[in-house]
Amino acid sequence: MNFTVGFKPLLGDAHSMDNLEKQLICPICLEMFSKPVVILPCQHNLCRKCANDVFQASNPLWQSRGSTTVSSGGRFRCPSCRHEVVLDRHGVYGLQRNLLVENIIDIYKQESSRPLHSKAEQHLMCEEHEEEKINIYCLSCEVPTCSLCKVFGAHKDCEVAPLPTIYKRQKSELSDGIAMLVAGNDRVQAVITQMEEVCQTIEDNSRRQKQLLNQRFESLCAVLEERKGELLQALAREQEEKLQRVRGLIRQYGDHLEASSKLVESAIQSMEEPQMALYLQQAKELINKVGAMSKVELAGRPEPGYESMEQFTVSVEHVAEMLRTIDFQPGASGEEEDEEVALDGDEGTAGPEEERPDGP
């Protein structure tokens, strides 16, 4: 079935009126705005009833206006631009009315009620019956048609219904579908928001665990540094003790060498004395001193290997291997925190006279 549009002469402002009507159509019910008209923060307009339907669909747990329970508000998305509209506890009744649009609607209705400006002058005409208007709807073929097509034409055996009835029914179905789609979109957006919150929580938890991991390894490094300092102190003490002993022996041997050298020098000078009487006066004493010097027993030398420090060798292979086995243990952090809290509690209740037993 093909259709043609038949026009009767209209006034020059008819096209403007059509454009104006398009601007006054609610995106939810697809009808002209019904008062009161509310304006959203994004500057789009809705019938308050349609806005309430969308709001209720997006916030099923929100209490109605007549309820005694105080609600905390809610949110929904503008069906035109998807901007999120956040409402307070008053719901859509807290939105501002667009009085300008309401006044324009009143003016439009007044102008359209005049016969010369009536849109009834424009009708879809049947192509097969050019003088017949499209006024019925074929339910079998699901197309609009005219009465003659039902009586004599291709739709004489089909079931038909009045065009306004089907028009209102399908508009209602489309409006309900739009409302459901908008509500579904809001639910999808809510899921997206929840998943974004999950991502944020994952980042926060990861950041916290990284901090804990750094703290644990820093404490482990502190233990290693402390133990290294203790071992270095022990090594330094042993080094100082050995050096003091050896240096003491060096001083003792040096003093003996110096005394022996002086005695040798005195003995040589005495042997050069040409007068026998003078030589004999000093010879006996020098002989006794040389004999005594030769019999002096010096402290023993350091035993072989005394200079070795190999006893201070540290084996860390098994410790390094154990460190390589460090891995994550789910739930261990919470248990350790509980143990720390318990230990802190025990320390707080212990008396000042109590002593802890020594032991590993």
How far is 273 from 253, CA to CA, in rounded Å?
A: 31
pLDDT attached to residue 217: 94
How far is 191 from 232, CA to CA, in rounded Å?
A: 61
pLDDT attached to residue 271: 83
Q: Please tell me the chain's helix, strand, coil percentages from 3-state DSSP, rounded to the nearest 5.
A: 60, 10, 30
Residue with the two structure tokens 């209102």: 168
How far is 236 from 245, CA to CA, in rounded Å?
A: 14
Which residue numbers in the chain have pLDDT < 70?
1-17, 61-73, 114-123, 331-360
Q: What is the pLDDT of residues 24-66, one digit of tens each?
A: 888 888 888 888 888 888 988 888 888 888 888 877 766 555 4
- The CA-based dihedral angle spanning residues 47, 53, 59, 63, taken in that order and rounded to the nearest 10 degrees: 90
How far is 253 from 259, CA to CA, in rounded Å?
A: 10
- Residue 21 Cα distances to 13, 14, 15, 49, 193, angstroms: 12, 11, 10, 20, 37
How far is 280 from 270, CA to CA, in rounded Å?
A: 9
Residue 69 DSSP label: S
Pair of tokens at residue 133: 């208007």
Pair of tokens at residue 130: 């050019």
Contact criterion met (CB below 8 Å) for 112 and 105: no
Going by DSSP bridges, is the β-strand pair 45-47/74-77 parallel, antiparallel, or unpaired? unpaired
Residue 133 DSSP label: B
Query: Which amino acid is residue 53, in one-letter code?
Result: D
Q: Which domains does the chain have, with CATH numbers?
A: 17-60+72-110 (3.30.40.10)
Q: Which residues pair with 143 in a beta bridge?
A: 138
pLDDT attached to residue 195: 94
Contact criterion met (CB below 8 Å) for 31 and 155: no
Query: Which amino acid is residue 95, in one-letter code?
Result: L
How far is 282 from 296, CA to CA, in rounded Å?
A: 22
pLDDT attached to residue 338: 52
Contact criterion met (CB below 8 Å) for 21 and 108: yes
Cis before 36? omega within 30: yes
Burial class (CB in 10 A: 0-12, 13-18, 19+), 79: buried
Residue 93 DSSP label: G
How far is 94 from 119, CA to CA, in rounded Å?
A: 36
